[in-house]
Amino acid sequence: MKLVLCSSVAFYEHVCKIADELQATGNYSIVIPKSARAMREAKDFTVNKTWFGNPDDYDKKADYMRTHFDEISAGDAILVVNDEKHGKANYIGANVLLEMSLAWYQHKPIYLLNALPSDSPFEEEIKGMMPVVLHGNLDALPYE
């Protein structure tokens, strides 16, 4: 199974650890976001969204998004790593919601590592995509 991991950039270090753990099982081909691959290679998981300070850099954000959309399209399923961010448990932000929407539209299974966010403005949309909640248990992922 080609499993594409999705998350907030703030969770990329955790995403890389999960990717390694799942890859080691031999049951999955794992894809992580382009920016996570760069952070892993640099051994630096500092979040640096340069486009906030330099609007000319939004082409980088667009490239990250388009590349990951292509990876989701080529995958079999997505795993959303939804850890705590800004004091919000099980955080799913707008970008991950877009990625989930693409997977849902393409009839791909959506797995959430942690529970559904309880106070998300996207609660209705997230629930409507019928994700499978793993409650932190990666062993609950199918591998066929």
Domains, the chain, ordered by start: 2-140 (3.40.50)
Residue among 130, 12, 142, 29 nearest 75 (CA): 29
Would you state the structure tokens that stand for residue 140, as one six-digit string? Answer: 């609950």
Q: Which residues of the chain have pLDDT under 70?
A: none
pLDDT for the residue 48 = 85
Whole-model pTM: value is: 0.94
pLDDT for the residue 144 = 72
CB atoms inside a 10 Å sphere around CB 133: 17
Estimate the crossing angle of helix 12-24 against helix 34-42, to 10 degrees.
90
